[in-house]
């Protein structure tokens, strides 16, 4: 049961990573409305309109003309998400069974199933609300959260119990929570940049429009809700508002670099005798540097697709590394307290 459960969770993690990266690819290739309906595509549940007759009928029935390539990208993303949903439901059922055996897993089962339902709803609203930035950003954050909830279950199933003095583990654990919060907020800012098409609002680095403080409109850039019935494809904001969003994300990147860099340094410094934590610190530090390099490359090379997609994927792996360290520190602290008692 334990190995089977662990393998299912690991499979779900891998698939969740694929779904998140595919979602970024769909968004960055402007295919988020490749299918204007949900869950089908121009009324077709399996496949997309491809024949001349089907395309002509779809163009008559829907306001948005068929673009076969975009439609397929959107539907492939949905199919992968659907398989992931089935895996998560299986994991939730297994957790409930574990709970019936006296193990306290019902909260995890409810959390996974509830987040899955929320993600499906946000995926539908992304289409029906025509790429509303708040919904798109929420869908992104939901995906990242779901992946890390799965990761937490996988780490729990591995039963790794690192040894560390309780007080030291506790201090680092508190620091890890701060690091996770800062990184999660920065990811949210990245989602806001992408959903408002502000990635190229500044095309030079480290300045923006050859200025250290360009003209920016923060009041319009961060309006979370603009009502219904607006098509947000390609964005609706004026340039100064997009600059404000982009620039805020840059400032957030500096804060994240300082906080995460400090945390990972402290983690490496205080875990010389704990190989698993030392390795996480090294991997996290490498991912942090790669992520900064990808962010700068997005600006310098004008948002190449491969780099922009990688920026999403590395952000997820970076968050996973910090969450993994938090799990290990929590385990070390609990293990140390049990040993003392």
Question: Going by C-beta distance under 8 Å and a sequence separation of 6 or more, which residues neighbour residue 26?
Answer: 32, 34, 73, 74, 77
Choosing from 52, 63, 74, 165, which is the catalytic residue? Answer: 74
**CA geometry: angle 173, 146, 20, nearest 5 deg:** 115
Instruction: Answer whether the bond into residue 39 is a cis peptide, omega within 30°.
Output: yes
Q: Rounded to whole angstroms, how far apart are CA atoms 325 and 279?
A: 10
Beta bridge partners of 208: 211
Tokens of 188: 């949210």
Residue 67 is among the residues annotated as catalytic for this protein: no
Tokens of 238: 């004026």
Counts of helices then strands in the chain (DSSP H, E): 10, 0
Beta bridge partners of 211: 208
C-beta separation of 297 from 307 below 8 A:
yes
H-type helices in 160-238, by residue range? 166-195, 218-221
CA 184, chain centre distance (Å): 9
Q: Rounded to whole angstroms, how far apart are CA atoms 232 and 131?
A: 5
What residues are annotated to the active site? 74
């Amino acid at each position: 049961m334990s190995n089977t459960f662990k393998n299912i969770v690991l499979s779900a993690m891998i698939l969740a990573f694929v779904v998140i990266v595919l979602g970024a690819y769909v968004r960055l290739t402007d295919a988020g409305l490749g299918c204007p309906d949900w869950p089908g595509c121009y009324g077709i549940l399996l496949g997309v309109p491809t024949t001349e007759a089907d395309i002509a009928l779809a163009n008559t029935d829907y306001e948005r003309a068929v673009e076969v390539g975009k439609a397929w990208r959107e539907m492939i993303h949905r199919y992968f998400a659907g398989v992931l949903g089935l895996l998560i439901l299986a994991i939730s059922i297994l957790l409930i069974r574990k709970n019936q055996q006296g193990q306290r897993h019902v909260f995890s089962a409810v959390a996974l199933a509830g987040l899955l339902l929320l993600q499906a709803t946000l995926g539908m609203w992304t289409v029906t609300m025509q790429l509303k930035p708040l919904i798109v950003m929420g869908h992104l954050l939901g995906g990242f959260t779901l992946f890390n909830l799965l990761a937490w279950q996988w780490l729990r199933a591995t039963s790794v119990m690192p040894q560390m003095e309780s007080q030291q583990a506790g201090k680092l654990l508190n620091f890890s929570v701060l690091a996770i919060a800062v990184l999660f907020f920065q990811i949210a800012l990245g989602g806001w940049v992408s959903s408002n098409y502000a990635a190229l609002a500044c095309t030079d680095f480290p300045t923006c429009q050859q200025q250290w403080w360009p003209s920016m409109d923060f009041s319009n850039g961060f309006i979370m809700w603009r009502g219904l019935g607006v098509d947000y494809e390609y964005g609706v904001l004026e340039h100064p508002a997009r600059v404000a969003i982009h620039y805020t994300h840059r400032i957030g990147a500096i804060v994240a670099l300082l906080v995460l860099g400090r945390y990972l340094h402290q983690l490496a410094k205080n875990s010389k005798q704990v190989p698993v934590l030392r390795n996480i610190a090294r991997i996290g530090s490498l991912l942090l540097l790669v992520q900064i390099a990808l962010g700068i490359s997005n600006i310098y090379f004008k948002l190449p697709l491969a780099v922009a997609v990688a920026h999403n994927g590395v952000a997820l792996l970076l968050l996973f590394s910090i969450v993994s360290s938090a799990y290990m520190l929590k385990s070390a602290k609990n293990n140390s307290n049990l040993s003392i008692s």
